[in-house]
Structure 1
Amino acid sequence: MSSTPVLNDDQWSKLLEYVAETYNEVTLSRGFHFYKQQMVTSLLITTEHKKVNAVVEEFGEKCRVEIDLNQLKASSCTCPVKTACKHVAAALMELADRQGYPASQIMNAKMALKRVAAQSSSVSSLEQLPGMTVDGWHKFMEHYTYHLKPSYDQWNYVELLRGQFSNLKRTAISFSETDLFYFDLHQRLFILRKIVEQNAQAGVTFYTAATIYHLSDELDDWLKEPVSVTLDADQHKERLTQTFTYIRAQMAIESPKKLHHFRVFSTLWAFKAPENEGLLAAEVAAFEAMEAAELSLSLIAGRAFLYLRQSMSDEAWSTITSHASFKDAPSLLFTPFLAYLEYVQKWQEIVHWLRRLSSFYSGKRHHDIESYAAYWKVAIAHVPDADDLMWESLVELLPASYRIIEAFYYEQRKWKSWIEMQIAQGYDPFTHRVNVLQPIEKESPELLLPYYHQAIEHYIRLKNRHDYKSAVRLLKRLEKVYKKLKQPERWEAFFTQFVSRFSRLRALQEELKKGKLLE
């Protein structure tokens, strides 16, 4: 075997073209099997004349193959087929492997040629990218990634797309800093659209849904980060206008249950759009030019968000609630509105929106109600007078809001209401860590009395030694509470009556002595 390479990239491309034109998939598949099973037992290369002689053994029979790399169509085999047979294909794959080229590309020659062509055309397109519109960028990205096929593991597909785009960084592209920012944004938008399209075609499972939400969260966080470069005002406005046009097109076909592009739209307007009345007016006009009856929920929400940005809160609310899908929309629909009001610190407005939204959150998941309650918490920190409105809203959401109300009572140190909720649920002091009750014991120890008394009675009724021990532990904590209240006489009166009432419970009396409550 010669160690001198007889194939270069140009000759490799010609070999692939020959295979793609000459062989069918069945023959290539059989040849690949022979190659993988090491049935090519001999391969000799004549470097000077670029000729290859090989022996392929099949069931003990030797087939001799001759390949002329200068005239591939003249290649021959001693088998009955004589040319373009599985033996020649196996020999070509063995040759490729020894020359450092992937034999699998011969097996998939047509696909390999398309990939080479795409990479070649992509390289020539790189120089044109700075002058392209946003639509041009997306056409380029479609062509640049066409060979990457979606799989059930959507996150793997996302990583493949990201890896392909990372190859672009190896080539110097004459982007301005502004275009570089927007090209990065549109790579992210392209990946988001690809996953949305895959979900629409293949149906959504919990596994696949997680990918789209993770992507959406990543993009939202990225848009909220400060831009590390200075954006040219004119370029920024032009690219932003093109970007909004692209996003509106995606919003027009967006499912009312999956509002990911609306989320991008609102975050982009809140965190990246300059204070430019002309830009805002043009965008509002673009929405108003559409027939309202034909608009998707996503587009209706987009129009409403722009009204909100113009400080037209009532118009925003009436616009969004006018859509037929409003009541069945996911909570993701309202998060951008609440987030924007928080961002611009319009606290009275956020209270107004939260109060009107309480009925919408009825029946929603606990996670959604938690997010809703978190906005209430922020709002009343700035508008204390809205506290009653918050409680009205949370009560309307019972029983789903039970845990949230309980947590709010504790955070606001409304100890009486918090303890009443514990008693109503049949909890006792052992339900909590000691440090949970410590602030109550310090600030309002008298509120703990019914909590301890009820729990003690409960453990006594169970009538077994283990529970008697628990009752004794609670009695000792109760004694400390009475001492803290400086009411030892009340403790003595209670305890004397307690011992008398349960004097026949010998095991309890023994535990009281062990606990040093009785001599």
Structure 2
Amino acid sequence: MALLKIPANRIEHVIKAMESNMEPVVLARGWNYFHRGSVGELELAGGTLLHAKVKEMKDCDVVLNLEHVEESSCTCTTGGKWCKHKAAVLFKAYSLHGRPELLFVSMQKAAGAKLRAREKAARPAKQAPAAAPRATELPNEWHQYFERRFSGFILSYQQSVESFYRAARETLTPFAISWGEPLAGMFQMHVMLFVLRRIDRFRKDNQSSYVTYYNENAARNTATLCRESLRVAASQTDAALIRKRWPNHYKQTKEIVRDMLLGVQAEASDQLDTYRLLWQEFFLKSESSTEEQAWLRSLNPAEFPSRQQDFIVLALSHFLFLSGDDDSAIATLEQLNTRQPADFEGTLAHLSRQKEWVRMMKWLRWLLPALPRARQEEFHRLCVYWTEAARETGAHEEWILAIRALLPRSYPYYTEYLMKHGRYREWVDLQLAGRVPIASLYTSEFKLIRDAEPALMLPLYHQSIERLIAMKNRNSYTEAVRLLKKLRSCYRDLEQVQRWNDYVDRLMEKYARLRALQEELQKGKLLL
């Protein structure tokens, strides 16, 4: 079928109309549908009516009136004149004129600016803000209010991210207090979803910043707090009653969560964690996952980037995990493009809360080969899970093998274990293998072994002294002499003075040409 190219002036007319009337959040959802390939073939009728189907669980028929855009129609249930499906069709129609992703960015900015201008024009100075959200409104309308209320809140550094979370929670959640449960609980869930989406946007916008590490750390910490608030709200909200009395609220919540899983900004594990959390704590209390799994399987992986492909696999695996079928869940994960440890922290945290240690050990064994790729804070948390699960299941030897396999990153855990169990020779061998200088060792550990078994410390002294001399500068020679004096004390304690004398003779002979070293040895009164 020949591709349908709409005249540029018609397309421009539709763009301007949607910029003026669509909320930025609706444009974003429309882009997600287009980006997933959910828009079918375009057909033009009568020169001005553009027809297309947008695929959902139930297909939506969209008719864009290219002449009178406000008369366009869609069979979706949102009830809004300017819905996401119409935006998706526009992006498809524009793809033959230019790059639709650039159009999306441009429309987002223009729609945001016009939204703020309308807000300002409609509100006289010092007038009360827009009407509060109502229980009769759908979640999409709540989110539009949230966006308007915080349109001027710019996220930047750590304090701003944390302040935004507190401000949103303290400002927005009181609106629903009078609604009663469970709708007030659902409203609180959407406040947290709004915060998480804004944080995701902030992280994406700051990926190239010179303070990326600080921004990322602030965003991650705040997102963790927000997600815990979301978990509590979801677990305490009666999903079955929501689905029965407010079915459209329930349905739109599922749509929003799906958008977060596969949207254009879904690149980090956070969106995946949010999706899994809400199914685990909320949706599964009112329905089985059969329909959701069917939707996930209906998606064509080829239409998504590799990270979103992995999200589909991870989501399917999680439903198997929740049913207790760990073997099938792990088998499903063999389809992953990349095994990322961060994707499984939520799984391990759930098992830890439920004290299902045997299951946790199974997941930790499977995840072990991926642990070296974990970020430092992730690696630390996963090692804590290993320690916890091994202790509860008595898998002592398996824990040792795992920690050894993860060296050198697991160094703190392994050294702590060796010291605790008095395995001093292995502790010394580990320091020698890692070429750890004496100055970097914990004084308490070093002193404990030196007092208990001084002979074990001799190789450590020898290695550190040789390294210091090899640096060939006056300061390193001074430090080498200081260690030589301590080494001499060890030999004396062991009643091996002759061995000490032989060692110094060989040292003098080997480094006879290093005049500065000879001078430092003389100053330290180490020469015979």
TM-score range (shorter-chain normalised) is: 0.5 to 0.7
User: What secondary structure sits across from 1:334 in the alignment?
Assistant: helix
Using the alignment, how far apart are the partners of 1:161 and 1:392 within structure 2? Answer: 39
Residue in structure 2 matching 1:287, options 285, 289, 293: 293
1:373-452 residue pairs with structure 2 within 5 A? 373-385=383-395, 387-388=397-398, 391=401, 395=405, 401-413=406-418, 414-452=423-461
Determine the structure 2 residue equivalent to 1:114. Answer: 122
Q: Please state how far the C-alpha of 1:174 moved relative to its aligned partner.
A: 1.6
Residue in structure 1 matching 2:228, options 197, 208, 221: 221
Q: Please state how far the C-alpha of 1:456 moved relative to its aligned partner.
A: 3.6
Determine the structure 2 residue equivalent to 1:343. Answer: 353
Q: Please state how far the C-alpha of 1:410 moved relative to its aligned partner.
A: 0.8
Question: In structure 2, do the counterparts of structure 1 residues 442 and 114 end up closer, same or farther at CA, with 3 Å as the change threshold?
Answer: farther
Q: Is the contact made by 1:304 and 1:317 (CA closer than 8 Å) also made in structure 2?
A: yes
User: What secondary structure sits across from 1:311 in the alignment?
Assistant: coil
Pair member with larger Rg: 1
Question: In structure 2, do the counterparts of structure 1 residues 434 and 198 end up closer, same or farther at CA, with 3 Å as the change threshold?
Answer: closer
Q: Which amino acid aligns with 1:185?
A: M
Q: Which amino acid aligns with 2:220?
A: Y
Question: In structure 2, do the counterparts of structure 1 residues 518 and 236 end up closer, same or farther at CA, with 3 Å as the change threshold?
Answer: farther
Q: Is the contact made by 1:254 and 1:298 (CA closer than 8 Å) also made in structure 2?
A: no
Using the alignment, how far apart are the partners of 2:240 and 2:489 within structure 1? Answer: 73
Query: How many correspondences in the alignment?
Result: 387
1:21-170 residue pairs with structure 2 within 5 A? 111-115=119-123, 122-123=130-131, 126=133, 128-129=134-135, 131-132=136-137, 136-143=138-145, 145-146=147-148, 148-149=150-151, 153=155, 163=167, 166-167=170-171
Q: Is the contact made by 2:438 and 2:464 (CA closer than 8 Å) also made in structure 1?
A: yes
Using the alignment, how far apart are the partners of 1:468 and 1:143 within structure 2? Answer: 69
Using the alignment, how far apart are the partners of 1:507 and 1:199 within structure 2? Answer: 54
Question: In structure 2, do the counterparts of structure 1 residues 215 and 114 end up closer, same or farther at CA, with 3 Å as the change threshold?
Answer: farther
Q: Is the contact made by 1:358 and 1:393 (CA closer than 8 Å) also made in structure 2?
A: no
Question: In structure 2, do the counterparts of structure 1 residues 333 and 402 end up closer, same or farther at CA, with 3 Å as the change threshold?
Answer: same
Determine the structure 1 residue equivalent to 2:208. Answer: 205
Determine the structure 1 residue equivalent to 2:271. Answer: 261
* Counterpart check, 1:182 vs 2:186: yes
Question: In structure 2, do the counterparts of structure 1 residues 437 and 116 end up closer, same or farther at CA, with 3 Å as the change threshold?
Answer: same
Question: In structure 2, do the counterparts of structure 1 residues 194 and 498 end up closer, same or farther at CA, with 3 Å as the change threshold?
Answer: closer
Using the alignment, how far apart are the partners of 2:389 and 2:171 within structure 1? Answer: 46
Question: In structure 2, do the counterparts of structure 1 residues 167 and 373 end up closer, same or farther at CA, with 3 Å as the change threshold?
Answer: closer
Question: In structure 2, do the counterparts of structure 1 residues 432 and 195 end up closer, same or farther at CA, with 3 Å as the change threshold?
Answer: closer
1:472-491 residue pairs with structure 2 within 5 A? 472-482=481-491, 487-488=494-495, 491=496
Q: Which amino acid aligns with 1:350?
A: M
Using the alignment, how far apart are the partners of 1:460 and 1:159 within structure 2? Answer: 53
Q: Please state how far the C-alpha of 1:142 moved relative to its aligned partner.
A: 0.3
Using the alignment, how far apart are the partners of 1:419 and 1:386 within structure 2? Answer: 21
Q: Is the contact made by 2:189 and 2:234 (CA closer than 8 Å) also made in structure 1?
A: no
User: What secondary structure sits across from 2:337 in the alignment?
Assistant: helix
Q: Is the contact made by 1:331 and 1:368 (CA closer than 8 Å) also made in structure 2?
A: yes
Q: Which amino acid aligns with 1:192?
A: L
Q: Please state how far the C-alpha of 1:205 moved relative to its aligned partner.
A: 3.1
Give the TM-score taking structure 2 as reference length: 0.59
User: What secondary structure sits across from 1:404 in the alignment?
Assistant: coil
Residue in structure 1 matching 2:338, options 328, 333, 346: 328
Q: Please state how far the C-alpha of 1:251 moved relative to its aligned partner.
A: 1.8
Q: Which amino acid aligns with 1:315?
A: S
Q: Please state how far the C-alpha of 1:312 moved relative to its aligned partner.
A: 0.8
Deviations 1:428-447 (A, max 9, x none): 32333532412322444332
Q: Is the contact made by 2:161 and 2:219 (CA closer than 8 Å) also made in structure 1?
A: no
Using the alignment, how far apart are the partners of 2:235 and 2:300 within structure 1? Answer: 40
Q: Please state how far the C-alpha of 1:365 moved relative to its aligned partner.
A: 4.3
Determine the structure 2 residue equivalent to 1:492. Answer: 497
* Counterpart check, 1:313 vs 2:326: yes
Deviations 1:109-154 (A, max 9, x none): 854333469x98953x64x42x55xxx1331330353375468745
Q: Is the contact made by 2:199 and 2:223 (CA closer than 8 Å) also made in structure 1?
A: no
Question: In structure 2, do the counterparts of structure 1 residues 112 and 311 end up closer, same or farther at CA, with 3 Å as the change threshold?
Answer: same
Give the TM-score taking structure 1 as reference length: 0.59
Deviations 1:166-212 (A, max 9, x none): 55577685222544333222112123224445777x68435465565
Q: Which amino acid aligns with 2:319?
A: L
User: What secondary structure sits across from 2:268 in the alignment?
Assistant: coil
Using the alignment, how far apart are the partners of 1:203 and 1:470 within structure 2? Answer: 45
Using the alignment, how far apart are the partners of 2:175 and 2:471 within structure 1? Answer: 77
* Counterpart check, 1:303 vs 2:309: no
Residue in structure 2 matching 1:358, options 355, 363, 368: 368
Question: In structure 2, do the counterparts of structure 1 residues 154 and 406 end up closer, same or farther at CA, with 3 Å as the change threshold?
Answer: closer
Using the alignment, how far apart are the partners of 1:376 and 1:293 within structure 2? Answer: 35
Q: Which amino acid aligns with 2:227?
A: D
Using the alignment, how far apart are the partners of 2:362 and 2:128 within structure 1? Answer: 58
Using the alignment, how far apart are the partners of 1:258 and 1:229 within structure 2? Answer: 24
Q: Is the contact made by 2:474 and 2:517 (CA closer than 8 Å) also made in structure 1?
A: yes
Using the alignment, how far apart are the partners of 1:164 and 1:423 within structure 2? Answer: 54
Q: Is the contact made by 2:186 and 2:233 (CA closer than 8 Å) also made in structure 1?
A: no
Q: Please state how far the C-alpha of 1:507 moved relative to its aligned partner.
A: 7.9
Question: In structure 2, do the counterparts of structure 1 residues 480 and 352 end up closer, same or farther at CA, with 3 Å as the change threshold?
Answer: farther
Q: Which amino acid aligns with 2:331?
A: S
Deviations 1:381-420 (A, max 9, x none): 234436446635763xxxxx54323223311115434433
User: What secondary structure sits across from 2:487 in the alignment?
Assistant: helix
Using the alignment, how far apart are the partners of 2:524 and 2:338 within structure 1? Answer: 59
Q: Is the contact made by 2:168 and 2:191 (CA closer than 8 Å) also made in structure 1?
A: no
Q: Please state how far the C-alpha of 1:373 moved relative to its aligned partner.
A: 3.2
Determine the structure 1 residue equivalent to 2:53. Answer: none
Using the alignment, how far apart are the partners of 1:185 and 1:308 within structure 2? Answer: 24
Using the alignment, how far apart are the partners of 2:177 and 2:188 within structure 1? Answer: 13
Q: Which amino acid aligns with 2:148?
A: Y
Q: Which amino acid aligns with 1:182?
A: M
Q: Please state how far the C-alpha of 1:353 moved relative to its aligned partner.
A: 1.9
Question: In structure 2, do the counterparts of structure 1 residues 116 and 351 end up closer, same or farther at CA, with 3 Å as the change threshold?
Answer: farther
Using the alignment, how far apart are the partners of 1:475 and 1:367 within structure 2? Answer: 38
Unaligned runs of 5+ in 2: 1-115, 302-307
Identity within the alignment, %: 21
Unaligned runs of 5+ in 1: 1-107, 396-400
Question: In structure 2, do the counterparts of structure 1 residues 205 and 153 end up closer, same or farther at CA, with 3 Å as the change threshold?
Answer: farther
Q: Is the contact made by 1:138 and 1:186 (CA closer than 8 Å) also made in structure 2?
A: no
